[in-house]
């Protein structure tokens, strides 16, 4: 199988990830639930994972790293910590349902900083117009999961700092590939999955919490700390980690983060962009396709969308699957992004790459595309 759906989940993982998970199953119990060796090994693995992530994203304290089930879980915590029912939020025109649905559930007043694809200056200007006093939170994804558009989060963060508005970054498509300095950004929260660019297992995620940012709980329960108290602890990460930890997942995530740090996010990004460029250039030579990429891939990461002019996107995705090529077709859980880009009626066929993909795979994909379109 040629796997080009890493924007959903990286299917190929480093061998160390599976090894770490098996080891955790055999040697670890739960952190904070005892002083015996199995519990202590779990506590050490959890702390090591927090520490690696804190260093990668420039947090002062590993305790600012909270484990979640996925990025959606973290985004729900972040949004509901800052936006009250009926509150005001400003979001980009490329947000995922993981942002728009929690805001809808809150009945929030949402302003959309819509701007054309691959135009960071236009995005910044749109946010600049909409971020006003009384805004409860600004939310923006670092990279669009549909189009790979790298949004100007540094510029948006600067506006938020100047106007004292909390900023939430959805790093679902950028974690492990693009660098972020949370301290310099001054972000309130950064949410990310473990199972995409960090090469961890499904069912893992991370919420980076800003210093002294108020945090509301989604779940209450046992934490292994202050058990006599009936309120959740008021300190991180315990406040956000009710119940038993997913230690095989955390151990696998730790191995994935170490893999990313060993290679370097910049090197991973460069490899993915090379494949994106090869695919975009090859697809432009085929008839009947709309390719969403600038010639120099300006402001674009390792995600590429196309729309066939004479074929349904879902049908093209199925035809590729019949040839052993995994892509995603449809709206990708991001109808707002499609509305902004003008593809809501058609959806797109999306290719998304990882460290494990090769130029030879892209060449085989282009041959298959030619056959299908003919």
The residue segments making up the domain with residue 252 are 15-263
78 & 188 share domain = yes
Total number of domains in the chain? 2
Do 253 and 284 belong together in one domain? no
Closest CA to 191 of 211, 177, 174, 214: 174
Only one residue has tokens 């009926």, namely: 86
In a shared domain, residues 269 and 213: no
Per-residue pLDDT of the chain (374 residues; tens, 9 = 90+): 999 999 999 999 999 999 999 999 999 999 999 999 999 999 999 999 999 999 999 999 999 999 999 999 999 999 999 999 999 999 999 999 999 999 999 999 999 999 999 999 999 999 999 999 899 999 999 999 999 999 999 999 999 999 999 999 999 999 999 999 999 999 999 999 999 999 999 999 999 999 999 999 999 999 999 999 999 999 999 999 999 999 999 999 999 999 999 999 999 999 999 999 999 999 999 999 999 999 999 999 999 999 999 999 999 999 999 999 999 999 999 999 999 999 999 999 999 999 999 999 999 999 999 999 99
Same domain, 252 and 304: no
191 plus 300 within the same structural domain: no
- Residue that is written with structure tokens 């310099």 in the block: 184
Q: What SS3 state is found at 11?
A: coil
- Bridging pattern class, strands 167-170 and 289-292: unpaired
Residue 275's CATH number:
3.90.1150.10
Do residues 281 and 342 both lie within one domain? Answer: yes
Residues 100 and 237 in one domain: yes
Last residue of a domain, one of 232, 263, 294: 263
109 close to 83: Cβ distance less than 8 angstroms: no
Is the pTM above the cut of 0.95? yes
Rounded Cα–Cα distance for residues 60 and 58 (Å): 7
Among candidate residues 247, 263, 279, the one where a domain is terminated:
263
CATH number for the domain spanning 122: value is 3.40.640.10
292/259 same-domain check: no
């Amino acid at each position: 199988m040629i796997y080009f759906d890493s924007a959903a989940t990286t299917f190929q993982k480093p061998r160390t990830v599976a090894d770490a998970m098996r080891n955790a199953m055999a040697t670890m119990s739960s952190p904070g639930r005892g002083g015996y060796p199995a519990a202590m090994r779990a506590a050490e693995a959890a702390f090591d994972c927090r520490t690696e992530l804190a260093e990668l994203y420039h947090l002062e304290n590993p305790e600012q790293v909270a484990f979640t089930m996925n990025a959606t879980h973290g985004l729900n915590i972040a949004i509901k910590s800052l936006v009250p029912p009926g509150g005001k939020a400003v979001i980009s025109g490329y947000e995922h349902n993981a942002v728009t649905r929690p805001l809808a559930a809150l009945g929030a007043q949402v302003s959309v900083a819509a701007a054309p694809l691959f135009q960071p200056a236009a995005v910044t200007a749109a946010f600049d117009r909409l971020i006003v006093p009384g805004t409860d939170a600004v939310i923006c994804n670092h990279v669009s999961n549909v189009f790979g558009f790298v949004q100007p989060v540094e510029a948006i963060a600067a506006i938020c700092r100047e106007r004292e508005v909390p900023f939430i970054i959805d790093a679902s498509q950028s974690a492990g590939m693009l660098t972020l300095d949370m301290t310099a950004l001054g972000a309130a929260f950064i949410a990310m999955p473990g199972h995409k660019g960090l090469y961890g297992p499904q069912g893992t995620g991370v919420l980076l919490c800003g210093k002294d940012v108020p945090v509301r709980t989604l779940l209450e329960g046992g934490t292994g700390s202050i058990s006599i108290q009936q309120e959740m602890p008021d300190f991180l990460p315990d406040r956000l980690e009710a119940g038993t930890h997913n230690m095989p997942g955390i151990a696998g995530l730790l191995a994935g983060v170490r893999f990313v740090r060993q290679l370097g996010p910049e090197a991973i990004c460069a490899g993915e962009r090379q494949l994106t460029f090869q695919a975009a250039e090859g697809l432009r030579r085929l008839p009947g396709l709309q390719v969403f990429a600038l010639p120099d891939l300006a402001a674009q990461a390792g995600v590429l969308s196309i729309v066939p002019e004479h074929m349904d996107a879902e049908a093209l995705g199925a035809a590729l699957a019949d040839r052993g090529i995994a892509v995603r077709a449809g709206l990708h859980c991001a109808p707002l992004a499609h509305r902004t880009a003008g593809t809501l009626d058609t959806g797109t066929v999306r290719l998304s790459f990882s460290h494990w993909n090769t130029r030879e795979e892209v060449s085989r994909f282009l041959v298959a595309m030619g056959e299908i379109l003919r």
